[in-house]
Structure 1
Amino acid sequence: MSIMVQSSKAHDRSLGEWFYDIQRSSIKLPRFQRMEAWDRNRIASFLDTVISNLPMGVVLILQVDGNENEKFVSRHISTAEPEKEGTVTQHLLDGQQRLTAFWRAMHNNYDYETFFVYHPEFDPRSEKAGEEVQVFMKPRWFDKQGRRMPLWANDPRSTLERGLFPISLLRPGDMSAEISGWLANATQHLKPMGGQDDAFEKLQAYMTLQEKLKDAINQLRERVTHFNLPYLALPAATPKEVALQVFINMNTNSKPLSLYDIIVAEVESVAGSSLHDLEARLDSHCPYSKRYAELRDLILSTSALLQDKAPNNRGMIEMNKQVLVNNWEHLERGLERMATFLASQGIYDAARLPTNAVLPVIAACYELIPDDGDYRGKAETLLQRYIWSAFFTDRYENSSASRAYADFKALKVVLQNHQFDESHVAKVPVLDRNEYPLATVDELLAAGWPKSMGIEARGVLAVTTYLEARDFADNQPASYQNLRQREYHHIFPDALLQEAELPSSLALNCALITWRTNRVIGRKDPLDYLKERVDWAGEDTVRQRMRTHLIDYDRLAEAKYGDLGDAVEVEKLRGDFDAFLRDRAERVARAVGDLACGRHPDVHALWQGAEVEEA
Structure 2
Amino acid sequence: MTTFDSTKASLKDLLREIKMGEIQLPDFQRGWVWDDDHIRDLLVSIARSFPIGAVMLLESGGEVRFETRPVEGLENEISKAKVPEKLILDGQQRLTTLTQALSLTEAVNTRTAKGKKIKRHYYFDIQQAVDAPHSLEDAIIAVDENRQLRTNFGRDVQLDLSTPELECQNLHFPCDHVMSSDDWESTLHAVAPDQFGMYMNFRKQILQPFRDYQLPLILLKKETTKEAVCLVFEKVNTGGVQLSVFELITASYAADGYNLRDDWFGSKVRNVDSRRKRLESDPLLEGIEATEFLQAISLIYTHNRRQSDISEGKTGKQVRPVSAKRADVLQLPLSAWEEWADPLEKGFRQVGSFLKKECFYKRRELPYSTQLVPLAAIMTQLGDRWLEPKIYDKLTQWYWCGLLGELYGGAVESRMANDYEEVLNWIEDEEAIPRTVRDANFQPERFDTLRSRLSAAYKGIHILVLREGSKDWFWKASIKELDTEEIALDIHHIFPRAWCEKMNISKDLYDSILNKTSISYKANRKIGGEAPSDYLPRIQNEKQVAMDNAKMDELLLSHALSPDLLRSDSFHEFIEDRRKRLSQLVSKAMGKPVSQFSESEDYGDDDD
1:494 to 492, 497, 500: 497
Which residue is 1:200 aligned to?
Answer: none
Q: Is the 8 A contact 1:31 1:265 kept in 2?
A: yes
Supply the AA of the counterpart residue of 2:584: R
In 1, the alpha carbon distance for the partners of 2:361 and 2:123 equals 61
| 2:56 equivalent to 1:61 | yes
Supply the AA of the counterpart residue of 1:212: M
Supply the AA of the counterpart residue of 1:465: L
| 2:516 equivalent to 1:510 | yes
Which residue is 2:313 aligned to?
Answer: none
Which residue is 1:223 aligned to?
Answer: 209
| 2:403 equivalent to 1:391 | yes
In 2, the alpha carbon distance for the partners of 1:427 and 1:584 equals 27
CA change 1:411–1:247 in 2 (3 A) is same
1:380 to 383, 387, 392: 392
Q: Is the 8 A contact 2:63 2:225 kept in 1?
A: no
Which residue is 2:560 aligned to?
Answer: 550
Supply the AA of the counterpart residue of 2:442: A
Which residue is 1:287 aligned to?
Answer: 280
Q: Is the 8 A contact 1:473 1:537 kept in 2?
A: no
Unaligned runs of 5+ in 1: 143-149, 191-205, 561-572, 597-609
Which residue is 2:269 aligned to?
Answer: none
Which residue is 1:253 aligned to?
Answer: 239
CA change 1:555–1:591 in 2 (3 A) is farther
Q: CA deviation at 1:400?
A: 2.3
Deviations 1:580-607 (A, max 9, x none): 23332343234325599xxxxxxxxxxx
In 2, the alpha carbon distance for the partners of 1:285 and 1:341 equals 18
In 1, the alpha carbon distance for the partners of 2:433 and 2:386 equals 23
Structure 2 matches for 1:199-210, cutoff 5 A?
Answer: 206=193, 208-210=194-196
Deviations 1:268-315 (A, max 9, x none): 444432425533523442334453562225433333333336344334
In 2, the alpha carbon distance for the partners of 1:369 and 1:402 equals 21
Q: Is the 8 A contact 1:302 1:363 kept in 2?
A: yes
Which residue is 2:581 aligned to?
Answer: 584
Q: Is the 8 A contact 1:334 1:366 kept in 2?
A: yes
Structure 2 matches for 1:261-280, cutoff 5 A?
Answer: 261-280=247-266
2:509 match: secondary structure: coil
1:37 match: secondary structure: coil
Deviations 1:149-196 (A, max 9, x none): x9965521022223322212212xxx3xxx232222344345xxxxxx
Identity %: 19
After TM superposition, the structure 1 stretch with the greater mean CA deviation from structure 2, 162-171 or 497-506, is 497-506
Which residue is 2:473 aligned to?
Answer: 472
In 2, the alpha carbon distance for the partners of 1:451 and 1:405 equals 28
In 1, the alpha carbon distance for the partners of 2:32 and 2:327 equals 27
Which residue is 2:418 aligned to?
Answer: 406
Q: Is the 8 A contact 1:36 1:100 kept in 2?
A: yes
| 2:168 equivalent to 1:166 | no
CA change 1:318–1:542 in 2 (3 A) is farther
Supply the AA of the counterpart residue of 2:230: L
2:559 match: secondary structure: coil
CA change 1:380–1:520 in 2 (3 A) is closer
Which residue is 2:99 aligned to?
Answer: 103
CA change 1:320–1:61 in 2 (3 A) is same
In 2, the alpha carbon distance for the partners of 1:305 and 1:531 equals 56
In 1, the alpha carbon distance for the partners of 2:161 and 2:90 equals 33
Deviations 1:232-281 (A, max 9, x none): 67777765334423423543337554444444444444443242553352
CA change 1:327–1:593 in 2 (3 A) is closer
In 1, the alpha carbon distance for the partners of 2:478 and 2:178 equals 74
Which residue is 1:137 aligned to?
Answer: 142
CA change 1:595–1:516 in 2 (3 A) is farther
Q: CA deviation at 1:359?
A: 0.6
Which residue is 1:47 aligned to?
Answer: 43
Deviations 1:517-576 (A, max 9, x none): 97699763245456779975523333333333222223212225xxxxxxxxxxxx43x1
Supply the AA of the counterpart residue of 1:286: L
Unaligned runs of 5+ in 2: 110-118, 148-156, 267-273, 303-321, 594-604
Which residue is 1:199 aligned to?
Answer: none
Which residue is 2:309 aligned to?
Answer: none
Which residue is 1:452 aligned to?
Answer: 454
2:442 to 439, 443, 455: 439
Q: CA deviation at 1:368?
A: 2.4
Which residue is 1:599 aligned to?
Answer: none
Supply the AA of the counterpart residue of 2:497: D
Which residue is 2:351 aligned to?
Answer: 338
| 2:493 equivalent to 1:524 | no
In 2, the alpha carbon distance for the partners of 1:139 and 1:254 equals 30
Q: Is the 8 A contact 2:324 2:417 kept in 1?
A: yes
In 1, the alpha carbon distance for the partners of 2:89 and 2:457 equals 41
Which residue is 1:430 aligned to?
Answer: 436
Structure 2 matches for 1:65-76, cutoff 5 A?
Answer: 67-70=61-64, 72-76=66-70
2:142 match: secondary structure: strand
| 2:169 equivalent to 1:185 | no
In 2, the alpha carbon distance for the partners of 1:533 and 1:94 equals 67
Which residue is 2:299 aligned to?
Answer: 305
2:478 match: secondary structure: coil
Q: CA deviation at 1:36?
A: 2.5
Matched residues, number = 534
Which residue is 1:118 aligned to?
Answer: 124
Deviations 1:312-347 (A, max 9, x none): 433432323453255332232122221121111012
In 1, the alpha carbon distance for the partners of 2:227 and 2:497 equals 48
Cα-Cα RMSD: 4.2
Supply the AA of the counterpart residue of 1:557: R
1:92 match: secondary structure: strand
Supply the AA of the counterpart residue of 2:337: L
1:295 match: secondary structure: coil
CA change 1:470–1:180 in 2 (3 A) is same
Which residue is 2:34 aligned to?
Answer: 38
In 1, the alpha carbon distance for the partners of 2:191 and 2:374 equals 77
| 2:302 equivalent to 1:316 | no
Which residue is 1:157 aligned to?
Answer: 165
2:71 to 58, 77, 81: 77
State TM-score, norm by structure 2.
0.74
